[in-house]
């Protein structure tokens, strides 16, 4: 995989116009993330725009519901021809299996390649303390993240979203074919913001990440194209 294909830039903007402007400003970006805010604002319009420009799409809607509901959502989402699609591992193994089958069905009905279905192990904004005291989970954070990834693997999913700090353990346990998508990636020159478990782009790649999801360090930079270039060059030295 080419280095530039491993950088997924987050289109975390509230409007279609803003998203299009950002895509046009960064023509070198081949892979974009569409999350809850933008998809709620535009619906599938932004997906059609990205597909028309031959961009790859990470549709990060983090489905979390009963098996029948997530299956229906994944069936529809797969029909858009997106490349990556997320569902919370805590939906449970029945929902994960139903989502995987439905995504395959939806893609076949639309005549497109099925997306890789990726499980959310634990949001990168959650700390060990929050896991223990707020969510009352009795496992250590790395152990919990691994258990969620193994549940996804058992259900037949293609990979997991994890913080780069857990990537090495998941790579060693889940194998080389298990796709690891890592948000919470921050260059040394960028603010941490609300990310609690973060590494630099080079560190995340060395830890075993397949894809890095990076938003504000690029999109909020004074010169986004230069920020993207700096990150690209940093990753190039790590592979």
The residues assigned a catalytic role are 62
Are 89 and 160 in contact by the 8 Å Cβ rule? The answer is: yes
Residue among 8, 51, 9, 34 at smallest CA distance from 179: 8
Q: Which residues contact 182 (CB under 8 A, 6 or more apart)?
A: 161, 162, 163, 164, 167, 199, 204, 207, 209, 211, 212, 213
Cβ burial, residue 79 (10 Å; 0-12/13-18/19+)? buried
Are 39 and 59 in contact by the 8 Å Cβ rule? The answer is: yes
Task: Point out which residues pair with 182 in neighbouring strands.
Answer: 212
Residue among 134, 138, 133, 149 at smallest CA distance from 181: 149
């Amino acid at each position: 995989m080419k280095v530039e294909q491993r950088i997924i830039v987050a289109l975390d903007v509230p409007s279609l116009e803003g998203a299009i402007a950002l895509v046009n400003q960064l023509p070198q970006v081949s892979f974009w993330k569409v999350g809850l805010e933008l998809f709620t604002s535009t619906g599938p319009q932004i997906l059609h725009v990205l597909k028309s420009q031959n961009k790859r799409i990470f549709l990060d809607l983090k489905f979390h519901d009963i098996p029948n509901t997530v299956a229906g959502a994944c069936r529809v989402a797969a029909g858009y021809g997106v490349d990556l699609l997320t569902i919370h591992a805590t939906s449970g193994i029945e929902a994960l299996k139903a989502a995987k089958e439905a995504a395959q069905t939806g893609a076949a009905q639309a005549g497109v390649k099925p997306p890789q279905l990726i499980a959310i192990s634990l949001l990168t904004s959650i700390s060990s303390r929050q896991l223990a005291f707020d969510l009352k989970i009795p496992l250590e954070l790395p152990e919990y993240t691994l258990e969620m990834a193994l549940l996804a693997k058992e259900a037949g999913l293609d990979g997991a979203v994890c913080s780069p700090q857990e990537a090495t353990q998941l790579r060693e346990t889940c194998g080389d074919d298990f796709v690891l998508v890592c948000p919470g990636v921050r260059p040394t020159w960028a603010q941490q913001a609300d990310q609690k478990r973060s590494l630099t782009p080079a560190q995340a790649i060395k830890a075993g990440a397949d894809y890095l999801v990076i938003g504000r360090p690029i999109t909020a930079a004074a010169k986004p194209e230069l920020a993207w270039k700096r990150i690209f060059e940093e990753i190039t030295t790590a592979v």
